[in-house]
């Protein structure tokens, strides 16, 4: 198992947490922490994204978490969290 990555949330994602129910936010935080412990472990809800969006997608119900891995600095940066209908829109 690899060493854990440090999780960083961009300001846009912090707004998501303020607007949504605590139980959903808790689920998201738990899933992100689980991925950060071993980002390369097999996970059926985890997909590498293709151009024009780079990074990875984590699925939690109808919500998607877009994040990038900074392997050099061992950081998992959560870029966007939103409903599946709008998460990929610019």
Domains of the chain listed by start with CATH number: 6-83 (3.30.2310.20)
Average pLDDT over residues 26-55: 86
Q: pLDDT value at position 44?
A: 62
Give first-to-last CA distance, the chain, whole Å.
35
Average pLDDT over residues 8-18: 93
Written as six digits, the tokens of 84 are 């599946």
Element (H, E) at 40: none
CB-hemisphere CA count at 13 Å for 26? 3
Based on C-alpha coordinates, what's the Rg of the chain? 12
Residue 25 sits at φ, ψ, to 5 deg, of -60, -40
């Amino acid at each position: 198992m690899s060493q854990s990555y440090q999780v960083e949330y961009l300001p846009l994602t912090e707004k998501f947490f303020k607007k949504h129910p605590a139980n959903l936010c808790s689920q998201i935080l738990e899933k992100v922490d689980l991925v950060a412990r071993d980002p390369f472990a097999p996970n059926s809800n985890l997909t590498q994204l293709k151009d024009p969006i780079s990074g990875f997608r984590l699925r939690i119900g109808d919500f998607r978490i877009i994040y990038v891995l900074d392997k050099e600095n061992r950081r998992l940066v959560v870029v966007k969290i939103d409903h599946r209908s709008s998460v990929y829109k610019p």
